[in-house]
Amino acid sequence: MRKLNQKNGRLICVLLIASVLALAILPGYGEEMLPKKDKAPLEIVTMIFPGFDFARQVAGEEAHVVMLIPPGADSHSYEPSPKDVLAIQNADLFIYTGGESDSWIERILDSLGEDAPATLRMMDVITVLAEEHTASMQSHHTHDAETCSDDTHDHSHDHEHGEETPHEHAEELDEHVWTSPKNAILIVNAIAQELCRIQPESVDAFRANAAAYTEEIHQIDVAFEEIVSSSQRDLLIFGDRFPLRYFAAAYGLRYDAAFPGCSEDSEPSVRTVISLVDTVRREGVPVVFHIEYSSQKTARILAEETGVQLRLFHSCHTVSAEEIAAGATYVSLMWQNVEALKEALNGCL
């Protein structure tokens, strides 16, 4: 669950934006802040990098695509500004993930009424999965490290037998739907379909662009399938958050990690560290992963304690300004992950 103070802060922000919006939609004000563009090029507003990249690949020169979350920023703690709301209002298409992190968006869209843009919610396109809590994964309700070190109850035993523990979580849907290339293909095609509806005179261009990009993503999917099918290992270890639930499910991979995908925790309990170290040693895992923009603290502890390699597995959730300037795409980042997975499943200790 999100921290209570952050939820309250986001709600207050939304209420303030709603009041500003009442003034912003008066004649002249909105046009000064962010002029309404003509239909050519289309205005597409996205929240995070996957939607941004998919939209620009499909739209090509037919649209101006904007990403609201600044490069390198954490979308889980994002607070919308009045300018962001106006950008959404003036968009021809607004693309967002859905889920708890985006709950404020629904309130903003409702407040816009008939002025709300066409929207595409990525979680509506795919089969949604719930977050899983592995044997080592630290619960949001876990006691601090000292308390955990004295806790003799075997939580992993409870999970194995399907029994609830005092720390059991209510089901929370995983929002990182794009991490599976199979899902990414579905999302790209959904964006193309929506753009064809909005601007039918550009149907041929949108369909051709979508076909070309989904073929590139398909090649990545094939590469992952081949690595998994030819490898003796099938276990991923993340000394970090684990935003790759859909990726692991797509390829039948096991995983263990320090924190769930949307966790705001950064300090692992003693139990979590010991459990992950034991798993790395028992399973002969040659690589411990961290994700982008992580402190890498837990991952480094695991790597140093076990002598294995430390590697980045890019969730494609957030990219840096330097990566964007260098031409990073979902496809280019996923090809980096292909090499990382190959090492993790086939590398030697």
Q: Model confidence over 238-260: pLDDT tens digits?
A: 999 999 999 999 999 999 999 87
Q: Model confidence over 285-344: pLDDT tens digits?
A: 999 999 999 999 999 999 999 999 999 999 999 999 999 999 999 999 999 999 999 999
Q: Tally DSSP H helices, then E strands, for the chain.
A: 14, 8
Angle of CA points 121, 122, 125, to nearest 5°: 105
Average pLDDT, the chain: 83
Per DSSP, what are the bridge partners of residue 42? 63
Domains of the chain: 4-127 (3.40.50.1980)
d(CA 175, CA 198): 26
Note whether 112 and 236 are within 8 A (CB).
no
Nearest to 116 by CA among 84, 88, 83: 88
Q: Model confidence over 99-134: pLDDT tens digits?
A: 888 888 999 999 999 999 999 999 999 999 998 888
Q: Using the Cα atoms of residue 261, residue 267, residue 272 and residue 278 in order, give the sign of their dihedral.
A: positive
Global pTM reads 0.81
Note whether 18 and 10 are within 8 A (CB).
no
Percent of the chain with pLDDT over 70: 76
